[in-house]
Amino acid sequence: MKDVYVIGAGQSPYGSFPDETYLSLFDTAFDSLLRSVGDGFSPGQIDEAYLGTLGVGGRQIGLSAPAVTEYVGLHGIPTTRIENACAASGYAFRQAVAAVRSGMADVALAGGYEVMTDTSADQTKWWLGVSGEMEYERMSGTTFAGVYAQMASAHMKKHGTTVEDLSRVAVKNHANGAKNEKAHLQFDCTLDDAVNAPLVADPLNLYHCCPTSDGASAVLVATSEVARELSVPMIRVAGTGASSGRVGLFQRETLTRIPATVRAATDAYAEAGVDPDSIDVAELHDCFAIAELLAYEDLGFCERGDAGAFIRAGETNPDGSLPTNTSGGLKSKGHPIGATGTGQIVELVSQLRGTAAVQVSDPTYGLAHNVGGSGGGATVAILERVEGRR
């Protein structure tokens, strides 16, 4: 199999943009991507595209991905739309990597887009939580806030995790996102703010839940031959993993882990030949604060049950042993569902190139972790900076 390199990554701002469409947002992301690749590359080199979206709001329910590639002038290339809920573009990235590895493509585009804030309140409510298990879980009156709240309740009961631990995730991610000019919620919050916000689904309050956002992101992966011709640092896709799980939380063997994450991480670490200690920076799927804490454990960053202590000790702060969500994460940077997975790659590329707004000191390995729903799907990607700028 061929080695695969990330030659560029870009995103639109995340936020609420009533003047934009999913097409124009992707156009912005694509511009940002091309600037990131730099000179010596032409969009005509792109052989194949994989784009993730849930399709919130309806709009172009069928064939929205070809509509996007045609809109940005990638005329005629094979384009596949991927829907795996919030992990849509994590999976799109994996498919693009597979296309290059297999030799089917020399350059493949992975990306995602979502517009979530321009519909009526009723329409928005309709689309919330449509990726939960519909027949029983949703019919118990839950959207994802409720399901993640149930996971939080079980983790708190089993491991003594506290509301303050959950709130520290918000404080950290907002502190990072406040410095990210493309983040949706660019403000700091205090621990007091985050502990005392209005309840959404007990024990989760407003500060334990990510926003709904508009946005798009795009990444290019290519063969080493293509990458070497460019003037940007070489970032290798060291490993990818993906796994599925029961869509309903009640159907899984555990309430305090996301087994799909564990399996995806195991595969990604094995393929990269590294262990969790090697990871220097990570973008984690913090749709709800408990999700970031579960990810610490599921990805092997800390022992089972120790996630609360791990964040309390500051290990995941930018100056800690394993900085997480330096972009602001889903909580502060925002969560335009289909764009989130490749949006995480955008931050890792910035970190590995040394150009991030909240820059970690000289990282070699970056990890991106993207979850669909409450764990029906998950991807883990590990990127490696293999040499400096040439």
- Shortest Cβ distance from residue 291 to another protein (Å)? 14
Q: Answer yes or no whether residue 154 interacts with another protein by CB under 8 A.
A: yes
359, 221 contact by CB (below 8 A): no
Q: Residue 63 class from Cβ within 10 Å (0-12 exposed, 13-18 middle, 19+ buried)?
A: exposed
Q: Answer yes or no whether residue 146 interacts with another protein by CB under 8 A.
A: yes
- Shortest Cβ distance from residue 263 to another protein (Å)? 13
Beta bridge partners of 239: 382
Q: Which residues are catalytically annotated?
A: 86, 335
Count of residues near another protein by CB under 8 A: 46
Nearest to 258 by CA among 304, 216, 219, 201: 304
Nearest to 208 by CA among 283, 152, 130: 152
DSSP-derived secondary structure letter, 310: H
How many CA atoms are closer than 13 Å to the CA of 245, on its beta-carbon side? 28
d(CA 98, CA 89): 14
Cβ distance to another protein smaller for residue 13 or 146: 146
Q: Answer yes or no whether residue 128 interacts with another protein by CB under 8 A.
A: yes
177, 333 contact by CB (below 8 A): yes
Member of 21, 126, 178, 244 binding another protein (CB under 8 A): 126
Q: Answer yes or no whether residue 170 interacts with another protein by CB under 8 A.
A: no
Q: Residue 246 class from Cβ within 10 Å (0-12 exposed, 13-18 middle, 19+ buried)?
A: middle
Q: Answer yes or no whether residue 374 interacts with another protein by CB under 8 A.
A: no
Q: Which stretch binds another protein (CB under 8 A): 149-157, 172-180, 236-244, 279-287?
A: 149-157
- Shortest Cβ distance from residue 4 to another protein (Å)? 31
- Shortest Cβ distance from residue 255 to another protein (Å)? 5
Q: Answer yes or no whether residue 197 interacts with another protein by CB under 8 A.
A: no
190, 167 contact by CB (below 8 A): no
9, 353 contact by CB (below 8 A): no
Q: Answer yes or no whether residue 59 interacts with another protein by CB under 8 A.
A: no
- Shortest Cβ distance from residue 372 to another protein (Å)? 17
Beta bridge partners of 110: 50, 219
Q: Answer yes or no whether residue 375 interacts with another protein by CB under 8 A.
A: no
Q: Answer yes or no whether residue 61 interacts with another protein by CB under 8 A.
A: no
Q: Answer yes or no whether residue 196 interacts with another protein by CB under 8 A.
A: no
Cβ distance to another protein smaller for residue 67 or 128: 128
Nearest to 169 by CA among 137, 139, 203: 203
Q: Answer yes or no whether residue 189 interacts with another protein by CB under 8 A.
A: no
Q: Which stretch binds another protein (CB under 8 A): 124-132, 233-241, 307-315, 361-369?
A: 124-132
Cβ distance to another protein smaller for residue 98 or 130: 130
284, 347 contact by CB (below 8 A): no
- Shortest Cβ distance from residue 207 to another protein (Å)? 12
* 377-387 and 234-244 beta bridge pairing: antiparallel
Q: Site residues (CB under 8 A) for another protein?
A: 120, 122-130, 133-143, 145-147, 149-154, 157, 198-204, 206, 246, 248-251, 253, 255
